Amino acid sequence: MKILAVGRNYSGHIKELNNSQSEDPVIFMKPDTALLKNNNPFYHPSWSSNIQYEVELVLKIGKEGKSIAEKFASNYIDGIGVGIDFTARDLQNKLKDNGLPWTLAKGFNDSAPVSDFVPITEFSDLKNISFSLLKNGQEVQHGNSSDMIHHIEKIIAFISQYITLKKGDLIFTGTPEGVGPIAIGDKLEAFLQGKLMLETEIK
């Protein structure tokens, strides 16, 4: 399986990082070794002093497809969950300044905690899905798919023009504003439609 991710998909987050909005979605990947499941703890790597959380809706692909039309895109989603796109912001900024790929800043071990997935049939409107993140019991991020610059069906249509999607692939769909650093001892809890779906302790 592969993990694809969308960057800069909420205007509030683009502003907080002083990034510019692009016409097409910004796409990057994480290796399968980035996956962190079953609410396992996240071990803070020693090579970064600024790992940041980014809570995101995550799509799980249910069948293979390429060049998928937007109107059929939802047929390719098996379920939706929440995930955290852990980002080594210090390393990412250094790479960005030099015009280099983000791979190591986004794809390091365990940088993609994900929840279980809610079947797609349980969502009546893909453009109204809420999610949030608590750090040590306090809400630090909340978002809704209605605020996406590139909505869920467009993301699937866009990526599948270039990269064939396969059953089991995951797509992180971008983070709203409120990203921030984690420290050893922190506890993160991610909610989907008000329900606790994912928790991880920083060790």
Give the three-state DSSP class for 185: coil
Please report, as ranges, the residues that interact with Mg ion according to CB under 5 A.
54, 85, 175
To Mg ion, the closest distance from the beta carbon of 84 in angstroms equals: 9
Q: For CA atoms 72, 117, 169, 59, give the dihedral sign.
A: positive
To Mg ion, the closest distance from the beta carbon of 154 in angstroms equals: 17
Q: CB 31: neighbour CB atoms within 10 A?
A: 15
Residue whose CB is less far from Mg ion, 85 or 169: 85
Q: Which of 34, 24, 45, 58 is nearest to 145 (CA)?
A: 58
To Mg ion, the closest distance from the beta carbon of 95 in angstroms equals: 15
Q: Which of 85, 99, 73, 97 is nearest to 200 (CA)?
A: 85
CB nearest Mg ion: which residue? 85
Contact assessment for residue 85 and residue 54, using Cβ atoms and an 8 Å cutoff:
yes
Residue whose CB is less far from Mg ion, 132 or 175: 175
Residue whose CB is less far from Mg ion, 177 or 199: 177
Structure tokens that stand for 190 in this block: 């991610």
Interatomic CA distance for residues 50 and 68, integer angstroms:
37
To Mg ion, the closest distance from the beta carbon of 147 in angstroms equals: 14
Residue whose CB is less far from Mg ion, 17 or 163: 17
Q: Which of 150, 161, 158, 152 is nearest to 8 (CA)?
A: 150
Residue whose CB is less far from Mg ion, 60 or 65: 60
To Mg ion, the closest distance from the beta carbon of 175 in angstroms equals: 4
